[in-house]
Amino acid sequence: MTTIADLRREHQILASLMASLSISEQASPKEAERTRQNLVLFARHVTEHFAHEDPVLAELTMAPVGTAMRSAGDARLRESQSLAEGCASFSRYWSPPGAIERDPKSFGSALGILQAAVTRLIRREETEVYPLAVTGWAPQPVVAPPLTGVTELDDDHVEIFSMIGGLRAIVDDRQSTVDGPRVASLAVYAERHFAREEAIMEATAYPGLEDHRQEHHRARAILMGFRNDYLDGRRIDAVTVLKFLESWLSSHIADVDQRMVAHLRSSGSGHIQ
């Protein structure tokens, strides 16, 4: 049976196969042919990966509507279907012999779009979806949130991480469920923080605002799902909430938030201390 560790390994293989597709605009026919063969291999691995992954994640799309699991599963399914179609049409178009050589420039720009989409989906799966699906989880070392240099946001991040510390204590105490008020206060706090970041991004005309907002939306939907679980009388599994928050937040703060901070820095925004 495919495990989450197998799926993570497949993600690494996909990432390195994708990197092998980059080609210079003056590529020789031999180079173009090698890229074409790598493309055929890449397309096969993508198809196999989804075939392995779909059954592992199927339980998420069968969870009751409105739950955290269901919203993560539905979002992943939508994105993986559109990515599978994108990969299939990309390889159909570029894998006939001679196609890449004829127009390496267009190949390069189409590849850039595909690479960005694959990288995005892999990150989402690993930070938002897998934590809700995995069984047999072991605690990870507590990670301090990377500093952004914006005092109000750093204070928020530290506060959210201390809430995570509280959840960890519950799990370490071998309690298996989280109480609703704790999840509700986490959701409220995260919401305030997201609003604060979005206001800063709007005020500084950050070009990545929409993407960043989308990332927040997905986390909101999952946090709301946990809250709905509580309101509907379902048990909220402490390990699941902890896994999701740890993976999502550490990746979001280290990557998406840092990109926003780079913009604040380069635009000379007064938010950076």
Residues that bind Fe ion (CB under 5 A): 53, 125, 197, 257
199/231 with CB nearer Fe ion = 199
Nearest approach, Cβ of residue 52 and Fe ion (Å): 9
Q: Are 21 and 39 in contact (CB under 8 A)?
A: yes
54 has which bridge partners? none
Q: 33 vs 126, which CB is nearer to Fe ion?
A: 126
Of 108, 106, 126, 105, the residue nearest 116 (C-alpha): 108
* Closer residue to Fe ion (CB): 57 or 111: 57
Rounded to a whole number of angstroms, the minimum distance from the CB of residue 160 to Fe ion is 8
Q: State phi, psi for 177 to the nearest 5 degrees.
A: -120, 155
CB count, 10 Å around CB of 256? Answer: 18
Nearest-approach distance from CB 14 to Fe ion, in angstroms: 8
Provide, rounded to whole angstroms, the least separation between the CB of residue 197 and Fe ion: 5
Q: Helices (H), strands (E): how many in the chain?
A: 11, 0
Residue closer to Fe ion, measured from CB, 84 or 99: 84
Of 240, 146, 233, 252, nearest to 190 (Cα)? Answer: 252
Query: Which is closer to Fe ion, CB of 206 or CB of 230?
Result: 206
Report the SS3 class of residue 228. Answer: helix
Residues in the chain: 273
CA 236 and chain centroid, separation:
22
Min dist. Cβ of residue 114 to Fe ion (A): 15
Sequence-separated contacts (24+) of 13-16 with Cβ below 8 Å: 13/45, 14/42, 14/45, 14/46, 14/49, 14/118, 14/122, 15/118, 15/119, 15/122
User: Considering the complex, what minimum distance in angstroms separates the CB of residue 257 from Fe ion?
Assistant: 4
- Which residue, judged by CB position, is nearest to Fe ion in the bound state? 257
Which residue, 125 or 128, is less far from Fe ion as judged by CB?
125
